[in-house]
Amino acid sequence: MKKLLAISLAMFIFVLGFGITESFAESNELFIKSDILYSQTIPDPNSLIIDSETVTVNLDVLDSDTITITLFDKTFEATKDYVDFRSENNYAWTASGDWGVAVLTVIDSEIYGKIQTHDGVFIIEPTGLGLYAINEVDVNLGGDYHPDTDLDALSTAAQRAYLTVEEWKQIDTLQNSYVHTRDYRPNTVTIDVVVGYTQLTADEIGERKIKTKIQRSIDTANHANQALKLPVKLVLMDTEKVRGYEEKSLIALDRIALGDNSERDLNRLRALSVNADVMILLTYPGDTKSEIEKYGCGAASQILAQSHDLSFAVIAYPCLDGVTMGHEIGHLQGAAHNKDYIRFGDMSTKNPWSHFPHGHGFYSVKDQARTMMSYDCDSSETDGGERGKCTAWELWSDPNQPFFGTVTPTGTEKEN
Ligand SMILES: [Zn+2]
């Protein structure tokens, strides 16, 4: 009887094994669920990770135009938008569709991905031994990207750029001649970015992981430009550990420090950024929601950087999983928040509008979605009055192209 059982079991395993081999050969599944270390986190209101699963990855499928992605119990087909090769073993594979957006940064045969669907934001990272974690994360960190103190502290600082009459004329001409169906990418402008990170960030996270996350945040910001065929491409020029500098209690204070030449510990980062277009400092305020909310997610020098010296921003490391890199560099390029956000009263100085009619964020209450420049929907517009009702997507809006397939920004100033 025992022998029979053993034989049946062996046959069963054989058939099962055969079945698995068969389905592998035919499938374009990127993620294969792993039973080995499957773990499900208990949702913790103070944690950024909502849910987690363990998978292995079949990198070969990225040679195909269409791949199958399964995130927890949802499966969809993703068709490639483009692949941005930096080298054979360092590239970004991107896809988007009605289901959402996927940006997979591949470095040394490992994936550091961000996939956003209408169900949530999923971060894919290697955990060692060939396994990966798919973490559903909360990216609605406090809803806004600049704490009040940030704006108060800087209310007297330059918040407007001063352009010459000639420059304004040039911008007017460009805006009037913009054709949304045209592909402007042949004339792409490259924005070179240098990113420094504090010693504490390096100690807490590890430098390799920081660098991969930086690259992925650049890749997701670039996807937003590519999606609208915009002639802008961010290029990560260099990364650097900033020794000796300790982050302060508020991101506003770190922003002041980064703009203050007397902060000698930041001089090396400044020197490294001399030939770059944008300088970013990553800081580490902690890894819980409350710590990040207290500190702030990001702070740009100003809306439309007036000069090379003012083209910088500070970003809290945990916010790289969200849209903060694209958001802060967007500010430096001249984009502002959604124009209907009247939280700070005096919009002209504390929450300035963009210098450009099409330079504002956009949100859709119906779709519970917003572009990367928009603050969250007004609580009075949503049923529960909760924050985080409109999830941020790393996308720009366009008055002529639907955002989310159903919503087209109306008016002339909400889109960017
Ligand atoms: Zn902002």
- pLDDT at position 56 is 95
Spacing, Cα 101 to ligand 1 middle (Å): 22
Give 142-186 pLDDT, tens digit per residue: 544 443 333 333 333 333 344 555 665 666 666 666 676 778 778
Integer angstrom CA distances of residue 285 from 141, 146, 203, 305, 407: 13, 14, 13, 25, 36
Q: Which long-range contacts (CB under 8 A, 24 or more apart) does 24-28 make?
A: 24/58, 27/68, 28/61, 28/64, 28/66, 28/67, 28/68
**pLDDT, tens only, 339-381:** 665 443 334 444 556 667 677 788 887 778 888 988 877 655 5
- How far does residue 147's CA lie from ligand 1's centre (Å)? 10
What is the token pair recorded at 407? Answer: 């919503």
Where are the alpha helices (H) located in 163-234, listed in sequence order?
Answer: 165-176, 199-205, 207-227
What is the rounded CA–CA span in Å between residue 203 and residue 218?
Answer: 22
The more confidently predicted of residues 361 and 122 is: 122
pLDDT band at 4 (very low <50, low <70, confident <90, very high): very low
Distance 347 CA to ligand 1 centre (A): 13
CA distance 93 to 222: 12
Q: Cα of 302 to ligand 1 centre, how many Å? A: 9
- Distance, in Å, from the CA atom of 68 to the CA atom of 136, rounded to the nearest integer, reads 18
Report the length, in residues, of the chain.
416
CA 294 – ligand 1 centroid, Å: 16
- If you measure from the C-alpha of residue 145 to the centroid of ligand 1, how many angstroms do you get, rounded to a whole number? 5
Give 250 Cα–ligand 1 centroid separation in angstroms.
15
**pLDDT score of 336 more than 70:** yes
